[in-house]
């Protein structure tokens, strides 16, 4: 009897695995929803909608964008983290959700490493340190000297407390011991006009948002916040080149996450579709026009980057003393 019972249990388990394997092989059998924690029209949303067209083609099922803005993306993250781990509900996230929120908030309804399976990094966006044309500094070195001779007199704008633009400057200030006053705005779309109008002297911004002002001579570029120079403006040095600050690399990085227990076969299938989509010549060209460098890497590569980002932003938040109300 014991032998028969054991054989029956083995048969049941084998049948269950066969069903699971079959479901994974057939994925996707219905539309896939990607939750974007930002309003329609923003950069992550635009990137997702562009990639979704090709992902739909490669997956053979419609990829539907579901915008869930607000609260720094916390609600959107919780929604996906608590969802079914079957590949049909995914999250579009940048470093704000994966690394900055965990560093800013003591309590979150999600844990990046515990609750999500990184799928693929879609792309990164270089942010340039731009100065109002009237600032008496034409290079980052000159700006540093100016800030040291006039502590607390320079002001910089950002897209808000805890934004990439904010922490990029705070990491620069902290490393060099500079006193530059932070003025947070409700989005970089407000901070840039403030810089053009002279309310603040500096902002970190993607190139397309300031390119017209640059051509008109209203702003000048001093540095870029990525580890390597950007092909968008190869003559602009990196912050690390000028200052010697090691590992200074703070670009927005937008990727795809799935609930943590999603089967690896499904995660890999989605990752392949994401990579093919963002690297497609038509999509990569549009990304370049938006100031985005298309990536499309493997789950393991994206997971490694997420861990690096978590440590980096935790350090930046701690050293700068940034707090949220």
Domain CATH number, residue 191: 3.40.190.10
The predicted structure's pLDDT at residue 285 = 97
The H-or-E segment that residue 242 falls in is: helix 239-243
Strand 202-205 versus strand 89-93 pairing type? unpaired
Residues 200 and 305 in one domain: no
DSSP tally for the chain: helices H, then strands E:
14, 11
Say if residue 214 is exposed, middle or buried (CB neighbours under 10 Å; 0-12, 13-18, 19+): middle
Task: Give SS3 for 254.
Answer: strand
Query: Which of 225, 243, 261 represents a domain boundary (last residue)?
Result: 243
Measure the CA–CA gap between 55 and 92, rounded to whole angstroms: 14
Residues 93 and 135 in one domain: no
Residues 269 and 120 in one domain: yes
Is 2 within the bounds of a domain? Answer: no
Measure the CA–CA gap between 72 and 32, rounded to whole angstroms: 23
Token reading at 190: 């407000």
Residues 239 and 151 in one domain: yes
Is 315 within the bounds of a domain? Answer: yes
Do residues 90 and 257 lie in contact, with contact meaning Cβ atoms separated by under 8 Å?
yes
Backbone angles phi, psi at 254, to 5 degrees: -105, 125
Residues 146 and 228 in one domain: yes
Residues 138 and 219 in one domain: yes
Query: Which of 200, 215, 243 represents a domain boundary (last residue)?
Result: 243
Is 21 within the bounds of a domain? Answer: no
Residues 283 and 260 in one domain: yes
What is the CB neighbour count within 10 angstroms for residue 174?
Answer: 17
CATH number of the domain at 298, please: 3.40.190.150
Measure the CA–CA gap between 275 and 281, rounded to whole angstroms: 12
Q: What is the pLDDT along the chain (325 residues), one digit of tens a residue?
A: 455 555 555 445 444 444 444 445 689 999 999 999 999 988 999 999 999 999 999 999 999 999 999 889 999 999 999 999 999 999 999 999 999 999 999 899 999 999 999 999 999 999 999 999 999 999 999 999 999 999 999 999 999 999 999 999 999 999 999 999 999 999 899 999 999 999 999 999 999 999 999 999 999 999 999 999 999 999 999 999 999 999 899 999 999 999 999 999 999 999 999 999 999 999 999 999 999 999 999 999 999 999 999 999 999 999 888 877 6
The predicted structure's pLDDT at residue 4 = 59
Query: Which of 179, 212, 243 represents a domain boundary (last residue)?
Result: 243
First to last CA, the chain: 66
Residue span of the structural domain in which 194 resides = 128-243
The predicted structure's pLDDT at residue 3 = 53
Residues 83 and 160 in one domain: no
Residues 163 and 119 in one domain: no
Is 78 within the bounds of a domain? Answer: yes
Domain count, the chain: 2
Residues 261 and 120 in one domain: yes
Is 266 within the bounds of a domain? Answer: yes
Backbone angles phi, psi at 273, to 5 degrees: -65, -40
The predicted structure's pLDDT at residue 19 = 42
Is 308 within the bounds of a domain? Answer: yes
Do residues 81 and 116 lie in contact, with contact meaning Cβ atoms separated by under 8 Å?
yes
Residues 117 and 262 in one domain: yes
Is 3 within the bounds of a domain? Answer: no
Residues 273 and 297 in one domain: yes
Q: Looking at the whole model, is its pTM more than 0.75?
A: yes
Is 8 within the bounds of a domain? Answer: no
């Amino acid at each position: 009897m014991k032998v028969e019972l054991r054989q029956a249990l083995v048969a049941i388990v084998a049948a269950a695995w066969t069903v699971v394997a079959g479901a994974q092989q057939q994925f996707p059998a219905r539309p896939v929803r990607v939750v974007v924690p930002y309003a329609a029209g923003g950069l992550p949303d635009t990137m997702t909608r562009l990639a979704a067209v090709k992902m739909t083609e490669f997956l053979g099922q419609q990829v539907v964008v579901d915008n869930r803005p607000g609260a720094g993306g916390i609600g959107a993250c919780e929604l996906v983290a608590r969802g079914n781990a079957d590949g049909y509900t995914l999250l579009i996230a940048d470093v704000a959700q994966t690394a900055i929120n965990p560093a800013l908030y003591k309590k979150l309804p999600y844990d990046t490493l515990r609750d999500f399976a990184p799928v693929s990094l879609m792309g990164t966006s270089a942010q340039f340190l731009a100065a109002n044309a009237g600032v008496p500094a034409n290079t980052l070195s000159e700006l540093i000297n100016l800030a040291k001779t006039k502590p607390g007199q320079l002001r910089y704008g950002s897209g808000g407390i805890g934004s990439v633009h904010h922490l990029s400057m705070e990491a620069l200030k902290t490393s060099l011991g500079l006193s530059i006053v932070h003025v947070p705005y409700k989005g970089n779309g407000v901070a840039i006009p403030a810089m053009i109008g002279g309310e603040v002297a500096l902002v970190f911004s993607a190139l397309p948002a300031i390119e017209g002002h640059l051509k008109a001579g209203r702003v000048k570029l001093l540095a870029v916040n990525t580890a390597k120079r950007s092909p968008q403006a190869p003559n602009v040095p990196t912050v690390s080149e000028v200052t010697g600050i090691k590992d200074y690399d703070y670009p927005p990085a937008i990727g795809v996450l799935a609930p943590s227990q999603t089967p690896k076969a499904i995660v890999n299938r989605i990752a392949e579709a994401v990579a093919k989509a963002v690297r497609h010549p038509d999509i990569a060209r549009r990304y370049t026009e938006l100031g985005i460098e298309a990536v499309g890497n493997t789950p393991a590569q994206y997971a490694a980057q997420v861990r690096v980002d978590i440590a980096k932003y935790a350090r930046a938040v701690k050293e700068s003393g940034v707090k949220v109300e």
